[in-house]
Chains A and B, each alone.
Chain A
Amino acid sequence: SLAACQPSGPSGGGAGSGGKRVVGFSQIGADNPWRTAETESIKAEAAKRGIELKFSDAQGQQEAQISAMRSFIAQGVQGIILAPKVETGWEAILKEAKDAKIPVVLVDRGVAVADDSLYATLIASDFVAEGTMAGEWLAKKCGGKAGVIQLEGTTGSAPANDRKKGFEAAMASHPEIKVLASQTGDFKRSDGKNVMEALLKVHGAAITAVYAHNDDMAIGAIQALEAAGRRPGKDVVVVSIDGMGFAFDAIVEGKLNATVECNPLLGEMAFAALEQVLKGEALPKLLVQKDRLFDESNAAAERPNRKY
């Protein structure tokens, strides 16, 4: 009893509501401030360009992202922005999008597909490089000798895997830096604090540095260090990744030593890329975000520019 459906897929620029352009955005989740900033940036950009954005929050499930993309295709959107949860598993759905002639722009991490014509472009940060950058900076700051606590992100998540990999690659050339313990803080401030509290009792004065996979856990660790009478930023070097506003504040206060930026404000780039594809222009397959590192030398100057 289903009404005969119209052929779906983009029928010129006319589908969607009243000739308005419609773009779908499949986001992994809303479970941390970084991701919320990314979502906000894309929403704001869509509003600026007068594009109707179909936003879907997958609540951490890849399956939900895929079914959201199927819904987008069924609705005949003109383009899709996808923040893939993991690298693999996208082949089939990207092919469906391609068959429906809907370009897909990937943001913040890549996908592993044999045929790179399945997506228009990838606007990404390199998590491994972030980890390496943080590691190198930490090694330099500590003079090549330290006892480090690594606070890992959510077990099994791509950024946690890669930031660990990158950091450990950097450590390989610094034999005198010991990773005393590496525990997951689940990307949460509270877990970062809990883990740090516990490890302080075990390793005590041996801890001279902390490397956290995100700023939240670093702030938690700083709180634990302070409660234990240590001076984070002074006798314990703390480095983290993301470059959130509060991390800049902490650097300015002298409690955090450095943070590697991982820019979530991808909205403008994403929509610009989409416009180009829709106009039929060629795009490079990879637009790498140049992630910068901020420490006490440049954080204060940068702080007013931070939007998130």
Chain B
Amino acid sequence: MNRLFSSRLLPLLATALVLLVLFGAAGAHYEHFFSARVVLNLFKDRAFLGVIAIGMTFVILSGGIDLSVGSVMACSTVLLASLIMERGWPVPLAMAATLVLGAAFGGAQGWIIHRYGIPAFLVTLAGMFLARGTAFILSSRSLEIRHAFYAKNSAWGLPLGEGLTFTLGPMVFVSVLAVAMVVAHGTRFGRNVYAIGGSESSAALMGLPVGGTRIAVYALCGGGAALGGILSTLALGSGDPTRGMGLELDAIAAAVIGGTVLTGGRGWMVGTFLGVLILGTIKTILDFEGSLDPAWLRLASGGLLLGFILMQKVIAIRSRET
């Protein structure tokens, strides 16, 4: 029983282990790396990616994929900015509207995927163009949000000493993670997501609500992207239609590094959390290195990613054998 449990969680443990090794090695090599500030930055800078990756994990667990998250995020930052600054909406209302629209957009994609049996890849590819286009139509340039609410809340947070604060972004990220873990593991909806990902036809034959669950999953992911957008406006104080280009690949990579299988049905929310931290650590290492020219930077980030995945695989296989 115990052995079984650990063997199922093995990829996860391997991931955590490799992250620690990576962090430790970098800490030994670069001055100032081993600091509270670097760890905090990891959370601050990836909060929005984290939220989006969690939504993406739900989608991947259900056997789908969502390429539209980067564009939806960009679109919601512009929408929010223009609602607040151009229409004068109260900030909470504008945020709520953005969240609802993001979720509705995701839900609509889910509905098309389910109703017409079109591959998620394509529907969300169309969604990606649509949301990006909409963002550009809303504003072709970045919009500043200058508002008392933002001034007050963007720097608000738990003081950690040494002038460091655990700001709203990381807080939201961590709470979303906690909720996602409970939902994925402990609720019917969460288990249905795993079921659909395991085998859609079986899930349907077992009488599970396939359609509703699928639509909800994409709505969740769309909502997550919108929330990510909101967090990014809080962190940056602006909306920008070009933000989040290629973000979908980062979100997918985070989920996969965390052990979520792209064919669906297997994976963990904590894994995605680790995946986000790993991507962040890799980037931080490259920034600390700071002497790579762009060509080597790309080779190195590809190499680090590959090395990480290989190491994770080797550890998982080794420990299964012994």
A and B are interacting partners:
yes
Q: Which residues of A contact B (CB under 8 A)?
A: 2-3, 5-8, 17, 24, 29-30, 36, 39, 53-57, 59-64, 66-68, 70-76, 85-92, 95, 99, 112, 114, 154-158, 161
- Say whether B291 contacts A55, CB under 8 Å: yes
CB proximity to A under 8 Å, residues B235-253? 235-246
| Measured CA separation A29–B293 after assembly (Å) | 11
- Say whether B140 contacts A161, CB under 8 Å: yes
- Say whether A91 contacts B36, CB under 8 Å: no
Chain B, residues 133-163, CB within 8 Å of chain A (1/0): the string is 0001000111110100000001100000011
- Say whether A75 contacts B31, CB under 8 Å: yes
Known: A89-B236, A158-B141. A67 touches B38 (CB 8 A): no
Known: A57-B294, A61-B245, A92-B155. A2 touches B35 (CB 8 A): yes
- Say whether A55 contacts B292, CB under 8 Å: yes
Q: Return the chain A residue nearest B35 by Cβ.
A: A5
**Interchain CB contact (< 8 A) of B290 among A2, A24, A91:** A24
| Chain A: minimal CB distance from B286 (Å) | 8
Q: Return the chain A residue nearest B49 by Cβ.
A: A63
Known: A8-B37, A66-B236, A74-B38. A88 touches B144 (CB 8 A): yes
CB proximity to A under 8 Å, residues B18-57? 27, 30-39, 41, 44-46, 48-49
The CB with the most chain A CB atoms within 10 A, among B162, B284, B290, is that of B290
| Chain B: minimal CB distance from A75 (Å) | 5
- Say whether B241 contacts A70, CB under 8 Å: no
Can you add 14 more A-B contacts, CB < 8 Å, to A91-B154, A158-B141? A3-B27, A5-B37, A8-B162, A30-B293, A39-B293, A56-B290, A64-B283, A67-B41, A67-B284, A74-B35, A76-B32, A89-B240, A155-B242, A156-B241
| Chain B: minimal CB distance from A149 (Å) | 19
Known: A88-B236, A89-B240. A6 touches B32 (CB 8 A): yes
CB-CB under 8 A from B297, the residues of chain A are 57
**Interchain CB contact (< 8 A) of B142 among A2, A57, A86:** A86
| Measured CA separation A48–B143 after assembly (Å) | 39
| Measured CA separation A155–B33 after assembly (Å) | 37
- Say whether A5 contacts B146, CB under 8 Å: no
Chain A to chain B contacts (Cβ below 8 Å), 14 pairs: A5-B35, A7-B162, A54-B287, A63-B49, A66-B45, A66-B235, A67-B283, A70-B41, A70-B45, A71-B288, A74-B41, A86-B141, A91-B237, A156-B140
CB-CB under 8 A from B37, the residues of chain A are 5, 8, 70, 73-74
CB-CB under 8 A from B136, the residues of chain A are 155-156
Known: A63-B232, A155-B136, A156-B141. A71 touches B240 (CB 8 A): no
| Chain B: minimal CB distance from A100 (Å) | 8
Q: Return the chain B residue nearest A57 by Cβ.
A: B294
CB-CB under 8 A from A59, the residues of chain B are 246, 298
Report the count of interface residues on B (CB-CB < 8 A): 55
**Interchain CB contact (< 8 A) of A155 among B35, B38, B140, B154:** B140
CB proximity to A under 8 Å, residues B90-131? none
| Measured CA separation A154–B140 after assembly (Å) | 11
| Measured CA separation A95–B154 after assembly (Å) | 12
Q: Which residues of B contact A (CB under 8 A)?
A: 27, 30-39, 41, 44-46, 48-49, 136, 140-144, 146, 154-155, 162-163, 232, 235-246, 280, 283-284, 286-288, 290-295, 297-298
- Say whether A5 contacts B283, CB under 8 Å: no
CB-CB under 8 A from B291, the residues of chain A are 53-55
- Say whether A62 contacts B236, CB under 8 Å: yes
| Measured CA separation A70–B165 after assembly (Å) | 13
- Say whether A114 contacts B294, CB under 8 Å: no
CB-CB under 8 A from B280, the residues of chain A are 67
| Measured CA separation A193–B200 after assembly (Å) | 47
Q: Return the chain A residue nearest B133 by Cβ.
A: A155
CB-CB under 8 A from A71, the residues of chain B are 38, 41, 284, 287-288
| Measured CA separation A144–B193 after assembly (Å) | 65
6 A-B pairs with least C-beta separation: A54-B290, A5-B35, A89-B236, A88-B238, A30-B294, A67-B45
| Chain B: minimal CB distance from A145 (Å) | 29
| Measured CA separation A20–B31 after assembly (Å) | 14
CB-CB under 8 A from A158, the residues of chain B are 141-142
| Measured CA separation A30–B292 after assembly (Å) | 12
CB-CB under 8 A from B246, the residues of chain A are 59-61
| Chain B: minimal CB distance from A113 (Å) | 9
- Say whether A5 contacts B240, CB under 8 Å: no
| Chain A: minimal CB distance from B293 (Å) | 8
- Say whether B34 contacts A87, CB under 8 Å: no
- Say whether B237 contacts A92, CB under 8 Å: yes
- Say whether B287 contacts A5, CB under 8 Å: no
| Measured CA separation A8–B37 after assembly (Å) | 8
- Say whether A92 contacts B45, CB under 8 Å: no
- Say whether B288 contacts A75, CB under 8 Å: yes
The CB with the most chain B CB atoms within 10 A, among A5, A64, A85, is that of A5
| Measured CA separation A29–B291 after assembly (Å) | 15
